[in-house]
Structure formats: C-alpha cells, structure tokens
Amino acid sequence: MCMELQLGLALPGSDTWSRPLLKLGLYEDINVNSKKRGFDHGYLEDEFSAASFKNYEKGLVGWPPVETWRRKKLRCQVHNHMTAAENGYCGGRASNSTYVKVKMEGVVIARKIDISIHQSFETLTTTLMTMFDIFDENRRSFKLTYQDKEGDWLIAEDVPWR
Amino acid sequence: MHKKMAFSFPDEVLEHVFSFIQSDKDRNAVSMVCKSWYEIERWCRRKVFVGNCYAVSPRMVIRRFPEFRSIELKGKPHFADFNLVPDGWGGYVSPWIEEMAGAYPWLEEIRLKRMVVTDESLELIAKSFKNFKVLVLSSCEGFSTDGLAVIAASCKNLKELDLRDCEVDDLSAHWLSHFPETYTSLVSLNISCLGSDEVSFSALERLVGRCTNLKTLRLNRAVPLDKIANILRHAPQLVEFGTGTYTADVRPDVYSDLAGVFSSCKELKSLSGFWDVVPDYLPAIYPVCSKLTSLNLSYATIQSPDLIKLVSHCPNLQRLLVLDYIEDSGLEVLASSCKDLQELRVFPSDPFGAEPNVSLTEQGLVAVSLGCPKLQSVLYFCRRMSNEALVTIARNRPNFTRFRLCIIEPKTADYLTLEPLDVGFGAIVQYCKDLKRLSLSGLLTDRVFEYIGTYAKKLEMLSVAFAGDSDLGLHHVLSGCESLRKLEIRDCPFGDKALLANAAKLETMRSLWMSSCAVSFAACKLLGQKMPRLNVEVIDERGPPDSRPENCPVDKLYIYRSIAGPRFDMPPFVWTMDEDSGLRL
C-alpha cells in the first residue's frame, strides 16, 4: 500500500485521474496532500521541522497564477441569485489576507486555508476533509466550528456563507 | 561630409520629421544619433513611457522632456498580480503627480499600471490639468469613488476614463452624477471593476445619452440585464461594450427587447462582461456576432455546448478570452470557425481543485495551433501536457510571439513519457523565432534553460516557477537571452553563482524578480555594492536580513536598473542593498 502511494506521487498526470487509496496513517496522508498541493519534498522527510512547517503553513501563495481580481470576480458569481446591493462582500476593497488557520481535534499540525477561494460550506468542508484526510463515511462525525470575536466556538453552518 | 548634412536641416524640419515617429523605442534611437538630434527630439517628444517608476525620478523626466502631453508609468512587479508583493511595497504615483502638477498645466493623458493612486492625486489631476483628456488606471489601487467624483466634476475635456481591474473603495454610488449635464465629450468609459453598488443607473443612462461620441462602454456587475437595453438604445454607435450581470428570469419581452437593441448596434466589435450568464439570453447577441473581433467570456460560467454555439457565430473573432469550460471540443470548433484568431486565453474555472472538472487538455491547444494560422498569443491553463504536443504546437505555429502555458500542478511531467517537458518548450523557442514572451510550467530541468538561452534570442519576458536544478539554469538564461528585459522567477533552486556571474546583464534589463529561490543575503549585498546603477531590494517579512546568517536565502529579491538611485519610500519589510553600507533601512 505504501508503494502504491509513492507511485501515485510519481505519476502526477495519471490518465485515470484517480486518487490513490488512503488507508494508512497520518504520514502517508500528508504525502498525498503535499502531492496535491505541490509542496516541497522537504516536507516529506520531516513534517515537524520548522522550515517545512512554515512552507505548509503558508500554502502555495499566488499559484496557479490567476490574478486576484479575476479570482474574486469568479468566486462572487455563486451569489448570482442575490441582488447586487446585498452582496457587499464582493464590492469594495477586500482585505488581502483571506487565510484562516484550521485545526483538527487530535492533530498536532494546524493547516492554513484560503477562505476566499471557496464559495460555500460544501467546498470548504470537502477541502478540509481532504486536507485532514477524513473519509466520506467519517464525514458526518466531524463538525466545522469557528471562533467568533468574543472567543466563543460556534457551529459554522448555522450562519449563511457570507 | 555627413556631419555637415545633419546640421544643414533647420530644426523645424527635423522636428516635423520626428513627429511621424511615435514609438518609444524609435524615439530613443533617434535621440542617440547625435547631440543636436537629442536636443530636438526631447523638445518634441509628446508621449513618455516609464516602464518602472523607480528607474527614473519625476524631476529627471520633466527636465529632459519639457513638453510632453502624455505619460505612462508602471509600478509594482508583475507578480504583484498574484499576491506575491506584500501590501505597502510601493509604486506610489503621488510624487509624479505633484511634480507634473507644477510643471505641466497642459498634460493631457495619464496611464498607470500597478500603481497606488490616492484620492488626493486624483483631485490634484483634476485641479491642475485644464485640458486633461485620458485617465487609464490598470490594476491600480488606493483610491475611492470620491476621487472619481472630482475627476468627473472637473475634467471638462475628459475623453477616456478606464479603470481596468482596479481595487476601488466604494463610498458613494453617485460619483457618476458628478459629470455635469453640459459634459458630452466621453469616448471611453470602463467601470467594470467597480463593486456592487457603485453606480447610479439613471446618471449612467443620462451620461450615455448625451455623450454621442461614446465608443467604449464597459459596465460593472451591478448593472442588471434589463437595464442594458435602455443603455444600448442611447448608444447604438458603440464599438466596444461590456455587459453587467447577464442574468435575469427568462422573459420573452426582456429577451426580444435585448435582441432588438443589439441588432441596432451596427458598429459593435468587442463584447465583454457576461457575469452570472444565463444561456437562454445568449442568443440575444447573435445579431452582432458576425462582426465581433474580440470576445471576453472569461467570467462566463457556461458550459461547452453553449460556448460552442456562441463561438460558431463569430467567424471574424481575433481575440477570445474564455474559461476552460470550453473544453477540447469547444476549442476544436474554435479552430475550424475562427480562422482570424490571433489571441487566445483560457482560464481555469476551478484553479484550486485537485482534479480536473472539465475535459480540457493539451489537445485543445494543439487543435487551435493547427487550425488558426494567425494565432500569435496564447495564455493556457490546463492540467496535463506532453512534449509531443508542445513540439506539434511549435511546428504548427512558428509565429507565436507570446506563449504562456500554466500546467496547474507544479512540476507535472509529460503525462505520456513521464519525462520533463524540456524538449517541448525547447521546440517552442526553437521554432518560434519571434517569441517575445514565455511562461513555463511543468517538470523542467536545467536543460530547458539551455534551449532558451540558445534559441530565444528575441525573448523579452520570461516567467519561471518550480523549475530547474541548479544555477546553471539561470546562467543559461542570463547569458544567452540577448533581448531579455524582464525575468521573474519563483520557487527555483537558483542561487548566488549565476546571479553574480551575470551581474552586468542585469543593467541591460528592466528588472529581475526572484522569490523563494536560493539567493543569499551576502550575494545581495555584494551585488548592491558592485553595481551602483542597480537597485537591489530584499523583501522579507520575517524581519531584517542581517538578523540571520549571511548565507541564508532571502525570501524575495527585486533588482532593477535605475538612474534615480535607491528609493526612500520603502516599507519596513524592504531593504535596499547599496554601495555605502550594504544595508539601508
């Protein structure tokens, strides 16, 4: 199984486009994640070393090279059923930093994810499940929570995406 | 003998001859012939182009060209478009506006790209230049609709207001109403970047109605589909039009109204916009499709069949921007329908998805390269590529001048052979002898750079990411590419050796950007010390570079030639290496 995963890594352009089976522990899962995210091989050697942690923390900024305004305009299109006036999020200056730290219970390493590239809880949850390698059948046992300004932990899906 | 002939022409004659020479490059060449030509030329240059606002100071420009009417300035490095340049880096236009406001009451045109523009600057422009005609702000930021309101209110002769891809603070929806009722000179208006509620429809309609010379109108997303008909009715003479949101409940009366009004636009050659597009309303534009030369569907999230239908109606298309929803099948139709196609840009609909959501591969690009004999400029995002395809593309289309390929996953090998894509890109540079711009992606070794250094003699701009094995790669490019002006590199194992060995080359280029590479702080200092005409800037948000060992790689490096010396408007995370101290804060 370990060998399969390694092969999966070496063949990024496989015809079948199928993801390798994820049946092993955290280490192998990180391998697969780093393949998908295109991270430095240094990460595979020692996921706890400061350099690779930082690399992972930062994510792959500016890649693929799609201009920020183009990304924003495309993302905003999911809200096409809202009137223009409601959709203040898409208007005006957006803060540059849309990265959010995500931590999974029981996992040492927190991940960072760019919120601005997601249009709904669906895609955000799917990406997070992939990042932390939670399989479909286990999905339901995980809940997405966020910390508000007062420091309270609330369930994310209770509020609208905006 | 020849010297005598040169002086025998009166200045006025030379000036008249020079007036036919518009291109910046030619003008620069003319000014280098002899001192008297330099003098005559500088007095009659009307358009000044400054490719890097920090390469020269405003005062130097004004001193040399006392009578220019139009200026174009560029600020931040290109990679700023992808968030690689931290906020606050620089590119401020205010020193330029302030200097020109004093010296040039007759300035007519200002074109800025990737610069920070404030409302104060906009106000100063409005106040200082009585005959101001053209304001083009491309990828700029720092201003609000308040600044626009002042421009609208004061610039009686304004012809062009083009805000493309800017980040504008929305403070008031009514800035458009500041154009006085007597104002009628608008020829071009592009407000497509404005946010949701930054436009007042009635003011817009009235403005469009009274500006009978309006040729270009690009609306923003806030303008709904049912308002477009009214606007177009007031401006059937439009040549370029950008819709707002192209969605509405499907109603036959709205549809026929729209289709009718489009049919009356006999001059329309370019369409854009199409946010939130509903396919049912697309046929409304069919009446104008046969004349269209430019179509920007890069925000249109419609699927391949609808795109194919649309594209098949546009036989005269020269420029197409589209999302990868078009798929290989759509590109094949494009290849057979649009024989005049010159420029194609295919953007990713789901750039961060791990797996392809559409069937767009290298085949689409191969088809277009084969079917479109005039194709010279390509920007293509895809998820797989092969050397075979690239070689075919290069052979099919040796007339490429711009070839930008982005294989979404970094370091992706040839999907057929699992080899690096060196040979494929090598073919591109070998066959396309007039290639001016190239962006690389995929798995690449030093070999591709050897090909580039050997063959890409006309290459002016090169973008590299996640490629190469060693300094040799960078060395090939710097030593071989004779026409290189701009080089931008990220995440490559290029270090000190190639950079220092080719230091002199850097003075012949506009700029070099290197981020997440292996250039040490020591090398940066050395370069800054050795090369006084280069500004060597280290960008590092981790803190001062001298708080780490000298051989530690810097985070980001931006080197550009300058006769203005080091700049003084740097934020705390930018350090310039200069000859005095090696480190200046």
CB contact under 8 A, A62 and B167: no
Kindly give the interhelix angle for B422-431 and B387-396, rounded to the nearest 10 degrees. 10
Using CB atoms within 10 Å of the CB of residue A140, give its burial: 0 to 12 exposed, 13 to 18 middle, 19+ buried: exposed
CB-based contact B229:B263 (threshold 8 Å): no
Burial annotation B411-441 (CB, 10 A radius, 16+ → b, else e): bbbbbeeeebbbbbbbbbbbbbeebbbbbbb
Q: Does the residue B581 lie in any domain? A: no
The CA distance from B309 to B283, in Å, is 9
Nearest to B411 among A38, A61, A91 (CB): A38
Q: Give me the residues paired with residue B561 across strands.
A: B534
Read off the tokens for A148: 């508000």
The CA distance from B382 to B124, in Å, is 45
What ranges make up the beta strands (E) of A49-138?
99-102, 111-114
Q: Does the residue B520 lie in any domain? A: no
CB contact under 8 A, A61 and B383: no
What ranges make up the beta strands (E) of B301-415?
319-323, 343-347, 377-382, 402-407
- Measured in angstroms, the CA of A39 and the nearest CA of chain B are apart by 9
CA angle B162, B164, B165 (to 5 degrees): 155
SS3 string, B44-75, reads HCCEEEECCCCCCCHHHHHHHCCCCCEEEEEC
- Measured in angstroms, the CA of A119 and the nearest CA of chain B are apart by 11
Q: Can you give the pLDDT at residue B85? A: 97
- Chain B CB contacts of A60 below 8 Å: 410
CB contact under 8 A, B418 and A10: yes
**Among residues B579, B389, B244, which one has the least CA distance to residue A83?**
B244
Q: What is the mean pLDDT of residues A71-90?
A: 51
- Chain B CB contacts of A63 below 8 Å: 82, 410, 465
| CB-defined contacts A:B, below 8 A | 121
The CA distance from B581 to B575, in Å, is 11
Q: Does domain A95-161 have CATH number 3.10.20.90?
A: yes
Nearest to A77 among B169, B276, B463 (CB): B276
Q: Can you give the pLDDT at residue A35? A: 40
Residues A23-64: tens digit of each pLDDT: 322 333 333 333 443 334 333 333 333 333 333 333 689 999
Q: Does the residue B523 lie in any domain? A: no
Q: Can you give the pLDDT at residue A106? A: 63
**Among residues B371, B277, B378, B234, which one has the least CA distance to residue B319?**
B378
Q: Does the residue B31 lie in any domain? A: yes
Burial annotation A42-66 (CB, 10 A radius, 16+ → b, else e): ebbeebeeeebeebbeeebebbbbb
CB contact under 8 A, A65 and B465: yes
The CA distance from B336 to B359, in Å, is 19
- Chain A CB contacts of B222 below 8 Å: 84
More confident residue, B322 or A131: B322
Q: Can you give the pLDDT at residue A52? A: 32
Q: Does the residue B38 lie in any domain? A: yes
CB contact under 8 A, A38 and B301: no
Phi, psi of B504 (to 5 degrees): -65, -35
Instruction: Provide ipTM, 2 decimals.
Output: 0.90
H helix and E strand count, chain A: 7, 4
Read off the tokens for B189: 């208006």
- In chain B, helix, strand, coil percent, each to 5? 35, 20, 45
* Structural domains of chain B, count: 1
Q: Residues 456-495, chain B: which have Cβ within 8 Å of A?
A: 463, 465-466, 490
The CA distance from B244 to B250, in Å, is 16
Read off the tokens for A120: 């709904």
CB contact under 8 A, A61 and B347: no
Nearest to B197 among A60, A74, A84 (CB): A84
Mutate which of A74, A95, A113, A127 to test chain B, going by most B C-beta atoms within 10 A?
A: A74
Query: Which SS3 state, helix, strand or coil, does residue A160 take?
Result: coil
Q: Say whether pLDDT at A21 is over 90.
A: no
Residues A101-123: tens digit of each pLDDT: 666 666 655 566 666 667 666 67
Q: Say whether pLDDT at A137 is over 60.
A: no
* Residues of the domain holding B19: 11-45
User: What letter does residue B243 receive in the DSSP assignment?
Assistant: -
Per-residue pLDDT of chain B (585 residues; tens, 9 = 90+): 555 555 567 888 999 999 999 899 999 999 999 999 999 999 999 999 999 999 999 999 999 999 999 999 999 999 999 999 999 999 999 999 999 998 889 999 999 999 999 999 999 999 999 999 999 999 999 999 999 999 999 999 999 999 999 999 878 778 999 999 999 999 999 999 998 665 788 889 999 999 999 999 999 998 999 889 999 999 999 999 999 999 888 889 999 999 999 999 999 999 999 998 989 999 999 999 999 999 999 999 999 999 999 999 999 999 999 999 999 999 999 999 999 999 999 999 999 888 899 999 999 999 999 999 999 999 999 999 999 999 999 999 999 999 999 999 999 999 999 999 999 999 999 999 999 999 999 999 999 999 999 999 999 999 999 999 999 999 999 999 999 999 999 999 999 999 999 999 999 999 999 999 999 999 999 999 999 999 999 999 999 998 999 999 999 999 999 999 999 999 999 999 977 654 444
Q: Does the residue B129 lie in any domain? A: no
CB contact under 8 A, A91 and B197: yes
CATH number of the domain that B19 lies in? Answer: 1.20.1280.50
- Name the pairing type of β-strands B160-164 and B556-561: unpaired
- Name the pairing type of β-strands B109-113 and B70-74: parallel
Q: Residues 368-387, chain B: which have Cβ within 8 Å of A?
A: 381, 383-384
Chain A contact for B414 (CB, 8 A cutoff): yes
Q: Residues 141-200, chain B: which have Cβ within 8 Å of A?
A: 141, 165, 167-170, 193-198
Q: Where are the domains of chain A?
A: 95-161
Cα B234 to its chain centre, rounded Å, is 31
Burial annotation A70-93 (CB, 10 A radius, 16+ → b, else e): bbbbbebbebbeeebeebebbbbe
Residue B80 CB neighbours (<10 A): 21
H helix and E strand count, chain B: 22, 23
Phi, psi of B270 (to 5 degrees): -135, 130
CA distance between the termini of chain A: 41
